[in-house]
Amino acid sequence: MIVFRKAVLIIHGFTGKLYDNEYLMNYLELDPKFDVYARTLPGHYKERFSNANVADWKEFVDKQVEDLIRNGYHTIYVVGHSMGGILGTYVAGKYKEIKKLVLINAAFDYGNTKKGKGESFFAKILEKLQKTSPFIFYEFTKLVKESKNFLSKVKCDTLILRSLNDEVVPYDVGDTIYEKINTNNKWITDIKDAPHTVLSSERKEIVSGYIKDFLKGGLRWKKNKKKEI
């Protein structure tokens, strides 16, 4: 069976939940050309997170993409926020059916003591450690280290979004992604007045609209693409 609609797979970040990206999910669902899919990552189901490892996360997103392909989708778009951006990059480099990739504050590095003014960043880390076990946080750091090998395998169209007020991911991570990702069709856009969790912030509407323009492509994207929104 061939499905002519396009699948959009949205992957949330470390210690995140589906509601972090809920606005974008609902916004894209309104377009008759998109079927939107999102599931909670292993280890993120409860109020206090349970143990999961790098292999669990990679196997999980592999299965999501393979299920979409098995169900007839030959065009898949992937949107990943923070750690979800790492996992999105991993599958985008592996499956030819993934035609577009959106990376939102992708956590290929973390520890933004400059933009986060130190206190804000360490408060975020403390909050995450209180919610998780040291084991799962260690697995997150392992994934970040491994992620450097993912970028060169990506050949699909890629949009890199980074929040100017990101208190977790350093600003120059976006430049590293842009330089190392292996496609000529790549764009990087800064988001004004936006925190790390931009899709649940006051900027969610304009960012969601911008992502939709990229996914739909064509003349509208050529006209509306910007260096800053």
Q: Indicate if the pLDDT at residue 199 is higher than 60.
A: yes
pLDDT at site 122? 53
Percent of the chain exceeding pLDDT 70 equals: 88
| Position 79 in a domain | yes
pLDDT at site 126? 59
39 alpha-carbon distance from chain centroid: 13
- Helix (H/G/I), strand (E/B), else coil: 35: strand
CA distances from 127 to 21, 113, 119 (A): 20, 16, 12
pLDDT at site 50? 73
What's the number of domains the chain is made of? 1
State the average pLDDT over residues 18-45. Answer: 93
Distance CA 227, CA 192 (A): 11
- Express each pLDDT in 50-104 by its tens digit: 778 999 999 999 999 999 999 999 999 999 999 999 999 999 999 999 999 999 9
| Position 154 in a domain | yes
pLDDT at site 127? 64
Q: Indicate if the pLDDT at residue 112 is higher than 70.
A: no
pLDDT at site 136? 85
| Position 162 in a domain | yes
| Range among 11-15, 123-127, 133-137, 206-210 rated most confident | 206-210
Q: Following DSSP, what letter does each residue of 138-207 receive, concatenated?
A: HHHHHHHHHHTTTGGG--SEEEEEEETT-SSS-TTHHHHHHHHS--SSEEEEEETT--SSGGGSTTHHHH
| Position 229 in a domain | no
pLDDT at site 133? 74
Range of the domain at 36: 6-224
| Position 80 in a domain | yes
| Position 1 in a domain | no
pLDDT at site 189? 98
The domain that holds 74 is classified in CATH as 3.40.50.1820
State the average pLDDT over residues 27-36. Answer: 96
